[in-house]
Structure 1
Amino acid sequence: MSTLTDRIPVMVPYLGIEEEQAAAEAVASGWIAQGPRVAQFERAFAESVTAAHGVAVSSCTTALHLSLVACGIGPGDEVVVPSLSFIATANAARYVGADPVFADVDETTGNLTPDTVREVLGPRTRAIVLVHQGGVPADVRAIKELAEPLGIAVVEDAACAVGSVYRGAPVGAEAQVATWSFHPRKLLTTGEGGMLTLDDADRATRLRRLREHGMSVSAADRHASAGPVFEQYLEVGFNFRMTDIQAAVGLVQLGRLAEIVRRRRELAAYYHALLAGVPGLRAVRDPEYGQSNYQSFWVLLDPDFPGGGRDGALARLAERGISARRGIMAAHLEPAYDTVKHVDLPATERITRDSLILPMFHTMTSAQQERVAAALLEPVASGV
């Protein structure tokens, strides 16, 4: 039996004294709500993905919601989404009154492809939410070549993909609009929080209004004014703001990003070496057109993989003090969406049924990775 001290967690945020000091400085400044640090973080993050504008918000979920509002998606419209994604991807379509339409994914990358999207396009399709699943970049250009001639918006759900590379540039560099998550499970964290990045200045201005109740003048600008300011509420908006405390942490984290990605790719390379050549096991890898940040290191097992397949592997790892997770969920199998009609989704169902996410965190040691691999492969080694 393992003890609490020798348990291997699935993920540990990489935070240090610098983040602590930055948050304390924000508190000491007296400006803790959305303010100058948020604006600084927006500029720095947008620059890091070579976008013209960043709009910080309270989560990637609210970023997805706002992106569809800004694209004019509403009741009667259909939004193509992968079922193989955290449920927020599909929920965002429902938030604006649209109908999510589930498309299948490529079994190797876990991402939408032109073929899987084409299968579900219809006269009411107005948008596609293209997820970079687990940090593996999706083939953005291929999807845009399909969507743009039809007038279909493409929103990139890059929640897991900060630091990933697509065709030599950061994921998000070619986005009409990209959405990002800073949840603790992500490489760059602010505790909670999210961001939209885009190049359209007018749309960015509107998004900033929408996140702050639709006000014509932000709270920060009102407080900075030497005279009275009488704001207007130009449309129905939301309270989706980020705080300066979060942004202060985010700025420090952004400075660590290259180091974090380098370390995760190093860890992934060792997992690949430990798991190479195992029959019935396939580990996630870079696609030919990009590089993953390995936000998640997932493996796909054959249903008859020794030791009880995926579920047996999860139980075995847990018994040995190793925290792993089931693979990526499938929204169409959840009660919230079980009445939504959909095409057959064989790759989605295969991945969600037979995959698991292995532990990976910045301070993980080679010995810990070896322990994970040994537990996973124990039935193979023993010939069970």
Structure 2
Amino acid sequence: MAVVAMIPVMIPQLGEEEAQAAADAVRSGWVAQGPRVARFEQEFAAAVGATHGVAVSSCTTALHLALVLLDVQPGDEVVVPSLSFIATANAVRYVGATPVFADVDLATGNVTVETIEAVRTPRTRAVIAVHQGGVPFDTAALRKAADGWGVHLVEDAACAAGSTAYGQPAGAGATIAAWSFHPRKLLTTGEGGMVTVDDAAHAARLRRLREHGMNVSAADRHASSQPVLEAYLETAFNYRMTDIQAAVGLVQLGRLAGLVAQRRELAARYQELLADVEGLTPVRDPAYGQTNYQSFWVLLDERHERDEVLAELARQGVSARRGIMAAHLEPAYADVEAGPLPNTERITRESLILPLHHKLTADDQEHIVGVLKGLA
């Protein structure tokens, strides 16, 4: 039986420039958090319209630090979408608070003012809203609503580097936003994350929290020509990024606009090719913004069984993936009471993610769509 060459669902765009930047960091002798991290923080924050960036070890730790910063505690509730990678809900448990699952809009996969309002209670201290798969949520509506409710809005922008809302980068104007640089994202440092804020005092505390609560960073201490006796101001964490990662991130940041343009072009071609395929609804831009198409998903109707579609794609040499998970259906959250989440359950049950990356060719896309048409 012949082995079918698979079209991968994703490939990180890394090249010789990233390899050279990492090697230069190694040769410099400074491989821990240092000057490259500081530069990456400044340049990334500027790129997403924020004043301050605080680099961390992952988006998960970014979300954790955001909730610590906002003093979310046991007894508090935090509204989150169930339709998100499980780290979104896990961060709430890290601070001892209770995650409350909200449903999402069927077209965007994002929470809305209405879905949050349906589950908000007097114990709601914060909302974590996700720009799901790179599709921006309605930043204007949610920020206004959060202010009116008197709750904190944390923006989970893990997938959103390069997306826009109302003509601005998805994180611009956020009180606090968390970002991911995992290899599944457009901009990768292997692992890693960032917290962006506009408040200088918040940025200063986040820097302490990521580095054991020290009042002076290790980089500043080692750079000083005089002895520095640090103090540890509070119990905190080791959530630092390395200069090797930041060196790669700086190169990737320079590629970001081109990566987004290429993915949007590929997504537009998918949408054109899928226009006459019955029973499939491809993801599209919301009216108020543009997605970076970190993921390109299609929603199936009752004529198609998702797992059968995935199996047929695999038989035909296409590596696709199930759609976004629903945390409330996982064993880890079996003890959490969740109200009706019809859109969440439909999307997680009836959607799949198609290949989208810089090496995807026109022939690849025609083959993938051809397989889908054969199932119609």
Q: TM-score, normalised by structure 1?
A: 0.97
Partner of 1:333: 329
Retained in 2: the 8 A contact 1:2–1:321?
no
Partner of 1:373: 369
Retained in 2: the 8 A contact 1:303–1:310?
no
**Deviation of 1:277 (Å):** 2.7
Measured against aligned partners, the alpha-carbon deviations of 1:176-228 in whole angstroms (never above 9, x if no partner) come to 00110000000000000000111000000000000000011100011011111
Q: What secondary structure is seen at the aligned counterpart in 2 of 1:353? A: helix
Q: Which runs of 4+ in 1 moved over 2 A?
A: 1-4
* 1:305-384 correspondence runs (5 A): 305=304, 309-380=305-376
Opposite residue 321 of structure 1, the aligned amino acid is G
Report how many aligned residue pairs link the two structures.
376
Moved more, 64-73 or 141-150: 141-150
Q: What secondary structure is seen at the aligned counterpart in 2 of 1:126? A: strand
Q: What secondary structure is seen at the aligned counterpart in 2 of 1:312? A: helix
Partner of 2:113: 114
Partner of 1:221: 220
**Deviation of 1:102 (Å):** 0.1
Opposite residue 91 of structure 2, the aligned amino acid is A
How large is the RMSD of aligned CA atoms in angstroms? 0.9
Partner of 2:260: 261
**Deviation of 1:2 (Å):** 6.1
Partner of 1:180: 179
Partner of 2:159: 160
**Deviation of 1:321 (Å):** 1.6
* 1:78-117 correspondence runs (5 A): 78-117=77-116
**Deviation of 1:379 (Å):** 2.1
Partner of 1:191: 190
Give the whole-Å Cα distance in 2 for the aligned partners of 1:56 and 1:274.
40
Partner of 2:135: 136
Residue 270 (str. 1) matches residue 269 (str. 2): yes
Give the whole-Å Cα distance in 1 for the aligned partners of 2:96 and 2:246.
31
**Deviation of 1:3 (Å):** 3.5
Give the whole-Å Cα distance in 1 for the aligned partners of 2:73 and 2:171.
24
Opposite residue 104 of structure 1, the aligned amino acid is D
Q: What secondary structure is seen at the aligned counterpart in 2 of 1:21? A: helix
Opposite residue 289 of structure 1, the aligned amino acid is Y
Give the whole-Å Cα distance in 1 for the aligned partners of 2:90 and 2:55.
20
Residue 205 (str. 1) matches residue 201 (str. 2): no
Measured against aligned partners, the alpha-carbon deviations of 1:114-164 in whole angstroms (never above 9, x if no partner) come to 110000110110100010000000001111221112220000000001000
Give the whole-Å Cα distance in 2 for the aligned partners of 1:271 and 1:9.
16
Identity of aligned residues (%): 67
Retained in 2: the 8 A contact 1:49–1:171?
yes
Retained in 2: the 8 A contact 1:2–1:320?
no
Give the whole-Å Cα distance in 2 for the aligned partners of 1:79 and 1:379.
41
Opposite residue 379 of structure 1, the aligned amino acid is L
Q: Which runs of 5+ in 1 are unaligned?
A: none
Give the whole-Å Cα distance in 1 for the aligned partners of 2:364 and 2:6.
10
Give the whole-Å Cα distance in 1 for the aligned partners of 2:100 and 2:366.
41
Q: TM-score, normalised by structure 2?
A: 0.99
Partner of 1:50: 49
